[in-house]
Chains A and B, each alone.
Chain A
Amino acid sequence: METRMLNVRINGRAYEVPEGITILKAAQEYANIDIPTLCYLEGISEEGACAICVVEVKGAKNLQRACVVKVTDGMEVWTNTARVREARKLNVELLLANHPTDCFTCEKNQICRLRELAAEVGVREVEFPRTRSEWLPFDETSLSLIRDPNKCVLCRRCVNVCAKVQSVYAIDIVGRGSNSMVSTFLDEGLGNVECVNCGQCLLVCPTGAITERSEIPGVWKALGNPDKVVVVETAPAVRVAIGEEFGMPDGTQATGKMVAALRGLGFNQVFDTDFSADLTIMEEGYELIGRLKNGGTLPLITSCSPGWIKFAETFFPNVLDHVSSCKSPQQMFGTVTKTYWAEKMGLDPRNVVVVSIMPCTAKKFEKERPEMKTAFHYWQEKLGLRDDEAFNDVDYVLTTREAAQMIRESGMDFANLPDEEFDRPLGESSGAAVIFGATGGVMEAALRTGYEVLTNRTLEKLEFEDVRGLAGIKSAEVDIDGTILRVAVANGLGNARALMDQVQKGESPYQFIEIMCCPGGCLGGGGQPISDHPDVKQRRAEAIYREDAGKPIRKSHENPEILEIYKEFLGEPNSEKAHHLLHTEYCDRSCD
């Protein structure tokens, strides 16, 4: 059906716009007018709460909210009258009256939407006093995120992302009027409720009300300690986003500069999480093959994404046997570094510090899981370690943003650094590992290896286009020598929930499912640079696939370092040793 076109006048000029368009979009797309917004997030947060985007509409008694009011035929809109400007300015002033003024030290100071908005509408003075009598305590219960309710402007973007995109519903508005605030169930704090630590709330927060729990000071301290060997690993999605922090275009492949910068920070070894992503493919691929051959529980579901894992443990505890027992690449890396590599290098694992740079906030939670002390158990008897000397496999997790901050602090001119290579032996990786950073990547990587292992034939076309792209749920059928493998990929937990509901009912048509917690996969993770560019995820994804295409090795099982670690240390994929070191177990969190 053809869309009906409507006549609208915006600031006196006539436009033809399609039926169903909001005033905001019509002004933006047809009249080149950017109406300022604060609480609006297209498709996710469309509540008209902040009252910043107000415009005059002829015949309407009150100012109308451009973000939610749709254009009607013959409508006359005025976006720039004295009445409109006064209303916007005053409403911003009202928000500022109770907002902390610690902008100098605020983590979001360079990217604060509220600060930007105050400048846009021309607030030069706030004539109103602070009316909230008390400063509210921070929510520091989470291992990943910290909330400062004092900086919250009650825009509800976080609430809507958590509910509508992630279907987690960890936060909502409590209290009313000027006492209303974003909080958790019974004000228990993010660390004590169903929050999966994904950090999507942080990405959409227009102020500094939600930030990651920074681990920068600990990393600087370790780097300054001559007794420690500080090893860094970088996740695939970091390299295609970190450039944004330094003004480089979206989708810049900055792998070499990132390696150079990290080396410049003083890390003793700059390794690649992609190495352990290849390892994950070996372990998970063989787990899938085993289940297919032996009639195991299917579908098998990937386990790389710690936000997804906590989600499954919280909402689907009775089907956890579907989830692969493989640790995530980050945790495999930590274990391998402190066992295989430390042994190989003759290092005391207690002096090895593993720092991982992740596009993710949930990884901060993951590294603290009690199961993630495998290297300690490996060494306990050999070195005669006491229980209270237990150490984590991964010591520090930095988000992409935190890594960029450290680079800024060091004064390096990131964009002009020469490209450098990862250190060996944990720095080699295949193209299959790189694409872990995009939704569908783990699936594609697993198919590349699975196909060749099962058929003993070389895969002609490495690209599985059906599982690529930013769609929420993708599915494909792969012909493996006449056997059809049905696979599905979900990104964003709302989409994951849809697939899991099928699994729970025993109605899932798939044998293998990839689930990534964040929209777009890791490239859209809660630890990534904050951006309001609509196509930033697309650009990052393109960079990831370019990186893959440019790699000499594009299949995990062809990575020579992977072959070496199995030969020297692990034996076979899914061997007892591999199981002991690289696999984990899950718990029921439904009653937490």
Chain B
Amino acid sequence: MIRNELLICAGGACITSGEKSVKDALIEELNSHSIQEEVQVIETGCMGACDLGPIVVVYPEGTFYQKVTPETARLIVSEHLVKGRVVESLLYTEPETQQKVASGAEIPFYTRQVKRVLRNCGVIDPLSIEEYIARDGYFALATALEMSPEDIIGVVTESGLRGRGGAGFPTGFKWKATRDAKGSPKYVVCNGDEGDPGAFMDRSVLEGDPHSVIEAMTIAGYAVGAQRGYMYVRAEYPLAIERFEWALRKAREYGFLGENILGSGFSFDIEIRIGAGAFVCGEETALLRSIEGKRGTPSVKPPFPAQAGLWNRPTLINNVETYANIPQIITKGAQWFRSVGSPKSPGTKVFALAGNVQNTGLVEVPMGTTLRELVFDIGGGIPGGKKFKAAQTGGPSGGVITADYLDMPIDFDTVKELGTIMGSGGLIILDEDSCMVDVAKFYLGFTVDESCGKCTPCREGTRQMYHTMERICEGKGRDGDIEQLSRLAEVVRDTSLCGLGQSAPNPVLSTLRFYQDEYRAHIYDKKCPSHVCKHLLTYSVSADKCVGCTACARQCPSHAISGEVKKAHVIDQSKCSKCGTCYEVCRFGAIQKE
């Protein structure tokens, strides 16, 4: 008889912070107390609060233990499960009130979220189809199979669901276009090639709730008239592949996939295709080529995949998060879906919150939530008492939202007005110490590396832009650089073949728009106002603070610091390599960086 369930978050972040050894310790301790028959240990998908991991939740109480180690895991067993005493030291402390919070449901990080896409993530055992079914899983499929394909497309269209992959194209349109397209067979493809740095929304769904995507793709197959689906997932997600593969097998066993699904006469199956790690394969035409076994390079649209996709046949392609919305739209209806979010961007959006913010992790909020709510209410604000400077959205294809727009509701259209994009949901918070020129250079460098090289503007243009950005950050900026960057950015945006190239200049354009003063400081004053760009820094010794301990002189790798013991030291600027070692080793705050 099971009396307790221990849910361990087995999302990527928790695994890297030691989830496996925590699990082993829990099982060992349960065995040593001979209660292994009474307590079940379940590994779930990502629970979202990544900076608190490894996370263990004890049910039925719902006690939320954070930052669990193998040692403290034993305490959870010996104290909580054997003696019935909550382990106070492992509870979350509310930063403002300093109160311990026993239940995960009461942690502000969670209370503000609306979990629809992630409703099962961190709640069910992703390897258990029964648990998925117990949460109404495959009910949508059964419902859909009794509807006409046109009615299903009608509901999806009416829901106003827009593609969560980045561009926000209306999903119902795509479904209808694929259904209406001439040609057979037709295909259904799921884009799980999540490549934005720091983004892991799709990965979490695939790892934590794989059946929701299988169910949705099957519904899509029925709606558009396809019998074969492909899940394209990147090789860097081995756990997602493993769990999805397992889920496929279970779905087939239960008759949710394969021949004559649920006796409806409709047959559908899904194969996994693993990407080899090229970012551009997230672009739909490149992805389709990759599935065909060809080099993943984009082609000109039109024809769109709905007209001529996989092997030139009509193909529906949506991303993981988009699909994950579908089952609930079918079971609960379009109106329910529209009950949250903004009128033109209904529903929720999952963000991967990262950067200079207290609580990092995966959050799902209604479209139209303000950046302030995301950063300060859910994210817990900026660490170290620093000021919020900007949020980067849309990864390398996006741009920044500045502090002036903290109260603007975020949805597909509002972010576009600010010159950035929603993207797949990466949200990097930058504090006052961030150099925006450096940030733009970082993202541009990513695109330069990931450009497929097919078209001139993306291949050569982004490279030239990066070259200029590098010069600027190295203090070799010249008059005319801003104009040249703008000229290049415009043509790269205007003439690149696919979305990757067309959006590649966005980080530069966006920072040029809002932080041109920082560019000017770098170019004309040879200063990095945020003290990030190494080449633009000057290290000096403050004579009145220096006690002459010689620590800096001894550590300086370029022997640039001289001075007698107990007397103020001096840095020879001609020798200084600006490595920052002196700044690090000085215990008296005597090294100045400007």
Report whether B459 and A154 are in contact in the complex, using a CB–CB cutoff of 8 Å.
yes
Interface size grouping (class) on chain B:
20 to 34
B461 at the interface (CB under 8 A from A): yes
Cross-chain contact B496 with A48 (CB below 8 angstroms): no
Interface check B16, CB cutoff 8 A: no
Q: Whose C-beta in chain B lies nearest to the C-beta of A38?
A: B456
Within 8 A of B (CB), among A78-120: 83, 86-87, 90-91, 94-95, 97-98
Q: What is the CA–CA distance of A129 and B295 in the complex, to the nearest angstrom? A: 30
User: Which residues of B have CB within 8 Å of A127?
Assistant: 484
Q: Determine if A145 is an interface residue (Cβ-Cβ < 8 Å).
A: no
Q: Establish whether residues A91 and B456, one from each chain, have CB atoms under 8 Å apart when the complex forms.
A: yes
- A51 interface residue, CB < 8 Å from B? yes
Is A10 among interface residues, defined by CB-CB distance under 8 A?
A: no
Cα distance A320–B460 in the bound complex, in angstroms: 46
B460 near A95: Cβ-Cβ < 8 Å: yes
Other-chain contact of A50, B299, B456, B487 (Cβ < 8 Å): B456
Q: Which of A52, A69, A131 contacts B464 (CB 8 A)?
A: A131
Which chain A residues lie closer than 8 Å to B497 at the CB level? 48-49, 51, 65
Residue of A nearest to B458 (CB): A177
A51-B457, A63-B495, A175-B453 given; A128·B464 CB < 8 A: yes
In the complex, per-residue mask of B542-579: 1 if CB is within 8 Å of any chain A CB, else 0: 00000000000000000000000000000000000000
The yes or no answer to A485 lying at the interface (CB within 8 A) is no
Q: Are A177 and B456 CB-contacts (below 8 A) given A83-B494, A129-B467?
A: no
Q: Is the CB of B295 within 8 A of A91?
A: no
Give the shortest distance, in Å, between B575 (CB) and chain A (any CB).
27
Closest residue of chain B to A91 (Cβ to Cβ) is B456
B299 touches A97 (CB 8 A): no
Stretch from B83-91, B103-111, B389-397, B444-452 forming part of the interface with A: B444-452
Task: Check B453–A177 contact: CB distance below 8 A.
Answer: yes
Of A62, A131, A172, A177, the residue contacting B494 (CB under 8 A) is A62
Asked if B461 and A176 make an inter-chain contact with CB atoms under 8 angstroms apart, the answer reads: no
In the assembled complex, A180 has its CB within 8 A of some CB on chain B: yes
Contact partner, B460, options A54, A94, A175, Cβ 8 Å:
A94
User: Does A347 count as interface, using CB distance less than 8 angstroms?
Assistant: no
Q: How far is the CB of B491 from chain A (nearest CB, A)?
A: 5
List chain A residues, Cβ under 8 A from B455: 48-51
B502 on interface, CB distance cutoff 8 Å: yes
In the complex, residue of chain B having the shortest beta-carbon distance to the beta carbon of A94: B460
B281-335 residues at the A interface, CB under 8 angstroms: 295, 297, 299-300, 302
B460 touches A178 (CB 8 A): yes
Bound Cα distance A329, B514 (Å): 73
Q: Looking at chain A's contact residues, is the secondary structure mostly helix, strand, loop, or mixed?
A: loop
B278 within 8 A of A: yes
Residues of B within 8 A of A178 (CB): 448, 451, 453, 459-460, 463
B493 lies within 8 A of chain A by Cβ: yes
CB of A173 within 8 Å of the partner chain = yes
- CB neighbours (8 Å) of A49 from chain B are 454-456, 497
Instruction: Report yes or no: B464 in contact with A173, Cβ–Cβ below 8 A.
Output: no
B503 to chain A minimum Cβ distance, whole angstroms, is 11
Report the Cα distance A297→B351, complex, angstroms.
Answer: 70
By a CB distance below 8 angstroms, the chain A residues around B491 are 86-87, 90-91
Bound-complex Cα distance A87 to B297 (A): 22
Q: Does A139 reach chain B (CB closer than 8 Å)? A: no
Distance between Cα atoms of A65 and B457 in the complex (Å)? 13
Contacts of B456 in A (CB 8 A): 49-52, 91, 94-95, 153-154
Beta-carbon contact of A63 and B494 below 8 Å? yes
Cβ–Cβ contact B457 & A91, under 8 A: yes
CB-contact partner of A173 in B453, B461, B494, under 8 A: B453
Inter-chain contact A94/B450, CB cutoff 8 Å: no
Within the assembled complex, what's the spacing in Å between the Cα atoms of A48 and B490?
A: 19
A419 and B14 alpha carbons, distance in the complex (Å):
87
Which residue of A has the minimal Cβ distance to B297? Answer: A173
Given known A49-B497, A86-B491, A91-B491, contact A180–B453 (CB-CB < 8 A): yes
Chain A min CB distance to B427 (Å): 25
A156 to B280, CA, bound (A): 19
Q: Which of B453, B490, B493, B495 contacts A154 (CB 8 A)?
A: B453
Q: Give the residue among B456, B490, B502 with the most A Cβ atoms within 10 A.
A: B456
| CB-defined contacts of B460 to chain A, threshold 8 Å | 91, 94-95, 97-98, 131, 178
B101 at the interface (CB under 8 A from A): no
B494 contact set on A, CB distance < 8 A: 54, 62-63, 83, 87
Cβ of A179 under 8 Å from chain B? yes
The CA of A52 and the CA of B280, in the complex, are separated in Å by: 22
Whether the pair A176, B300 counts as a contact (CB closer than 8 A) is no
| Chain B contacts for A48, CB-based, 8 A | 299-300, 455, 497
CB neighbours of A572 from chain B (8 A):
none
Would you give the shortest CB distance from A524 to chain B, in whole angstroms? 28
Q: Give A95 to B493 CA distance when docked, in angstroms.
A: 17
- Classify chain A: how many residues form its interface, as a range: 35 or more
Minimum CB–CB distance for A348 against chain B, Å: 55
Cβ-defined contact, A177 with B464, below 8 A = no
> Is A68 in contact with chain B by the CB < 8 A criterion?
yes
Tell me the minimal C-beta distance from B412 to chain A in angstroms.
15
- In angstroms, Cα B122 to Cα A323, docked, is 68
B239 within 8 A of A: no
* Docked-complex contact A94 and B299, CB < 8 angstroms: no
Q: How far is the CA of A173 from the CA of B488 in the complex (A)?
A: 25
- In the complex formed, the residue of A with least CB distance to B497 is A48
Q: Take A51-B497, A62-B502, A94-B461 as given contacts and tell me if A176 and B484 are in contact as well, using a CB distance cutoff of 8 Å.
A: no
Contacts of B463 in A (CB 8 A): 131, 177-178
CA distance A87 to B460 in the complex (A): 13
Q: Which residues of A contact B487 (CB under 8 A)?
A: 86, 90
* B300 contacts A68, C-beta separation under 8 Å: yes
> Interface 1/0s, chain B 450-480, versus A by CB < 8 A?
1111111101110110010000000000000
Residues of A35-54 whose CB lies within 8 A of B: 47-52, 54
**CA separation between A86 and B489, bound complex, in Å?**
12
How far is B455's CA from A172's CA once the two chains are assembled, in angstroms?
Answer: 15
Do the beta carbons of A90 and B488 come within 8 Å of each other?
yes
Which of B452, B455, B491, B497 has the most A CB atoms < 10 Å from its CB?
Answer: B491
Of residues 306 to 329 in A, which have CB atoms within 8 Å of B's CB atoms?
none
> How far, in Å, is A441 (CB) from chain B's closest CB?
37
Q: Which residues of chain B from 487 to 534 have a CB within 8 Å of any chain A CB?
A: 487-488, 490-491, 493-497, 502
**A177 touching B451 by the CB < 8 A rule?**
yes
List residues of chain A with CB within 8 A of the CB of B461. Answer: 90-91, 94
Note all chain B residues with C-beta closer than 8 A to A156.
454
Among A69, A70, A177, which residue has its beta carbon within 8 angstroms of that of B452?
A177
> In residues 375-417 of chain A, which contact B (Cβ within 8 Å)?
none
A78 to chain B, nearest CB (A): 13
Interface pair B295/A47, CB less than 8 Å apart:
no
Q: Distance (Å) between the CB of B174 and the closest chain A CB?
A: 18
Bound state CA distance, A51 and B462, in angstroms?
Answer: 14
Nearest CB in chain B: distance from A136 CB, A: 14
Q: What is the CB-to-nearest-CB distance from A40 to chain B, in angstroms, rounded to a whole number?
A: 12
Give complex CA distance A163, B450 in Å.
25
- Enumerate chain B residues within 8 angstroms of A94, measured Cβ to Cβ: 456-457, 460-461, 464
Complex Cα–Cα for A413 and B463 (A): 48
Q: 22 A-B Cβ contacts within 8 A?
A: A48-B497, A49-B454, A49-B455, A50-B456, A51-B457, A51-B496, A62-B496, A63-B495, A86-B487, A87-B494, A90-B487, A91-B460, A91-B495, A94-B461, A95-B460, A129-B464, A156-B454, A173-B297, A173-B453, A177-B452, A177-B453, A178-B451
12 other contacts beyond A91-B461, A94-B460, A177-B463, with CB at 8 A cut-off? A48-B455, A50-B456, A51-B496, A62-B495, A63-B494, A69-B302, A87-B495, A90-B488, A91-B491, A95-B460, A128-B464, A180-B459
Ranked nearest first, the 10 interchain pairs of A and B with the lowest CB-CB distance are A180-B453, A94-B460, A177-B451, A51-B495, A178-B463, A90-B491, A48-B300, A91-B456, A68-B300, A51-B456
The residues of A with any CB-CB pair to B shorter than 8 Å are 47-52, 54, 62-63, 65, 68-70, 83, 86-87, 90-91, 94-95, 97-98, 127-129, 131, 153-154, 156, 172-173, 175-180
